[in-house]
Amino acid sequence: MIENYNPDRRSAAFVAHPGHELRLHGWLSRAKPVCMILTTGSRSGTDRKRLQASARIVESAGGQCSRLFGAVLDRDLYGMILAGDATPFRKWTEKLADILVTSRTEQLVVDGWQLYSVSHDLTHIIGRLAAERASRALGYKVEVLQYEVVPALLAECSDSGKPAFELNLSDDELKAKLAAIDSYPGIEFELIEIRQIEEEGHARTERFFMPPPIADVIRPPSTKPKYESYGEARLADGIYQDVIRWHHVERIIHHLVASQRAIP
């Protein structure tokens, strides 16, 4: 893959959790996108440290925090999924589409579809459907790209898609990225896991991919998604009361896709 990034495109990013923007820090500083984050990244309603840290990173890089920034607690999101309540997801899709139209976005970067986290995967779908919706209003296609939120080895059954471009960060860009990562609150365990897999210096290169067609992405997986295995372990430990399964996620996705296709 070669570096063929076009810095002149009006860009946006939509991610599931605060902290994901750290994986895109170099691109963020070059593209200066409008940024959307779905969840607060906290289990309580009062802890906003990660969301506030993300806002500082986005703004210091010259980007813009949108009005869709920490819309829901993770625990409430999981409750909606288990209940099959697709209404909030549809509203977030509509709101995101409005933001893309207002900002006249040409390129949207979303969390990769990895069957690792339900939040990541549903954010991926919301982003792609919102881009379709915005494209109709704008009269041109909003390009959607994905990136690996977690290393492919952790996701195991993900499809990164065809390479789009990669950024090779300068020494100064890498230094700024590592400083942002090291000062970010509450991600110590995630960092340990990622750094056990990714080689030293991996943070210097940021890779972006063209996602497979939605119809291919949302087919029932041939292997158990990681979020099911994780949920089962938490249930056995008495931490969770329910496990989110593929059929819960599929129900939300099918509703969103059907609603989208019904738009004239």
Strands (E), the chain: 11-15, 34-39, 64-72, 107-111, 143-147, 162-168, 205-210
Q: Distance between CA atoms of 228 and 78, rounded to whole angstroms? A: 13
The strand pairing partners of 209, in sequence order, are 146, 163
CA atoms within 13 A on the CB side of 66: 25
| Nearest C-alpha neighbor of 75 from the set 214, 202, 217, 244 | 244
Q: Report the SS3 class of residue 19.
A: coil
Q: What is the pLDDT of residue 259?
A: 87
Place of tokens 């292997």: 223
* Angle between helical axes of 118-138 and 246-261 (0-180°, round to 10): 10
Q: Residues 109, 26: contact at Cβ < 8 Å?
A: no
Q: Distance between CA atoms of 217 and 215, rounded to whole angstroms? A: 6
DSSP 203-253: GGEEEEEEPPPHHHHTSPPSS--HHHHHHHHHHHTTS-SS---HHHHHHHH
pLDDT tens, residue by residue, 92-119: 999 999 999 999 999 999 999 999 999 9
Is the pLDDT reported for residue 158 higher than 90? no
Q: Report the SS3 class of residue 72.
A: strand
Q: Counting beta carbons within 10 angstroms of the beta carbon of residue 153, is it exposed (0 to 12), middle (13 to 18) or buried (19 or more)?
A: exposed
Q: What is the pLDDT of residue 44?
A: 64
Q: Distance between CA atoms of 51 and 70, rounded to whole angstroms? A: 7
What is the mean predicted confidence (pLDDT) over 169-175? 95
pLDDT tens, residue by residue, 37-69: 999 987 666 678 999 999 999 999 999 999 999
Q: Distance between CA atoms of 184 and 190, rounded to whole angstroms? A: 11
Q: Report the SS3 class of residue 14.
A: strand
Strands 107-111 and 64-72: unpaired
Q: How confident is the model at residue 25 (pLDDT cuts 50, 70, 90)?
A: very high
Residue 40 contacts by C-beta under 8 Å, 6 or more apart in sequence? 18, 47, 48, 50, 51, 70, 72, 73, 74
What is the mean predicted confidence (pLDDT) over 229-249? 93
Q: Which fold has domain 11-259?
A: Rossmann fold (3.40.50)
User: Which pTM does this prediction carry?
Assistant: 0.94
